[in-house]
Structure 1
Amino acid sequence: MLKLEHGNSAIGATLVTSAEELRKQHRATIDCFQTEADHPALGLGFGPETLVMEFYGGTEHDVDVVIYGNKLVGAFISDNGPTNFPSFRGWSLLI
């Protein structure tokens, strides 16, 4: 799976099945997602770098961590249910 390192809502996440497909999708992702100004509120302020990770099917989860004064204040895990494959975004984002 190819995913933006600094993005939100799984935008730009793509399932790839070969090294050739990975290279092609990486180039397309870098070309599309350049700067925060191009895609406001997406989270590209740190750049369009990508991650390659193993894909595990199932439901989507959010992990939120709250740190204040260099101390962990809270951590929350939310089960968002199944994703809208192949976009990897939850159904709630489509409504």
Structure 2
Amino acid sequence: MLKLEHGNSAIGATLVASAEELRKQHRATIVRFREEADHPGLGLGFGAETLVMEYYVGTEHDVDVVIFGNKLVGAFISDNGPTNFPSFRGWFILM
């Protein structure tokens, strides 16, 4: 799975099956968000870095960590239920 490191709500998340497809989707994702007409730079505000991770079928979870003054002050895990495959966004988001 390819995902923007600083993305929001699984924007730009793509399931890939090979290294070749990963390279192709990476280029396409960066180009798409650099040229996004309605929201220029959407998902790229903090950079165009991407993450590659293993995809597990199941429910979506959010992990939020709050750090203040170099100290962990809170951590939360939310179960968002099943994803709306292939978009990887929760069912609650209207397309």
TM-score, with structure 1 as normaliser:
0.85
1:69 aligned partner: 69
Q: Deviations over 1:52-91 (max 9, x none)?
A: 1111111000111112222211111100000000000101
Matched AA of 1:66: V
| Separation of aligned partners in 1, 2:29 and 2:75 | 31
Percent of aligned pairs with the same amino acid:
84
Question: How far off is 1:43 after superposition?
Answer: 4.2
- Give the Cα separation in 1 of the matches to 2:13 and 2:91: 15
Find the residue that maps to 1:45 and give its secondary structure.
coil
Q: Which runs of 5 or more structure 2 residues have no equivalent in the other structure?
A: none
CA RMSD between the two structures: 2.1
- TM-score (structure 2 length as normaliser): 0.85
Structure 1 segments unaligned to the other structure (5+ residues): none
Instruction: Give distance in 2, aligned partners of 1:53 and 1:59.
Output: 16
Give the structure with the higher percent helix. Answer: 1
What does the per-residue CA deviation read over 1:8-52, in whole Å, with 9 as the maximum and x for residues that have no partner?
Answer: 1001000011222112111100101238x614xx44222112111
Q: Distance in 2 between matches of 1:26 and 1:43?
A: 13
Partner of 2:40: 38
Partner of 1:87: 87
CA distance in 2, matches of 1:7, 1:15: 15
Which range is displaced more, 22-31 or 78-87? 22-31
Q: Is the 8 A contact 1:2 1:16 kept in 2?
A: yes
Between the two proteins, the alignment pairs up a number of residues equal to 93
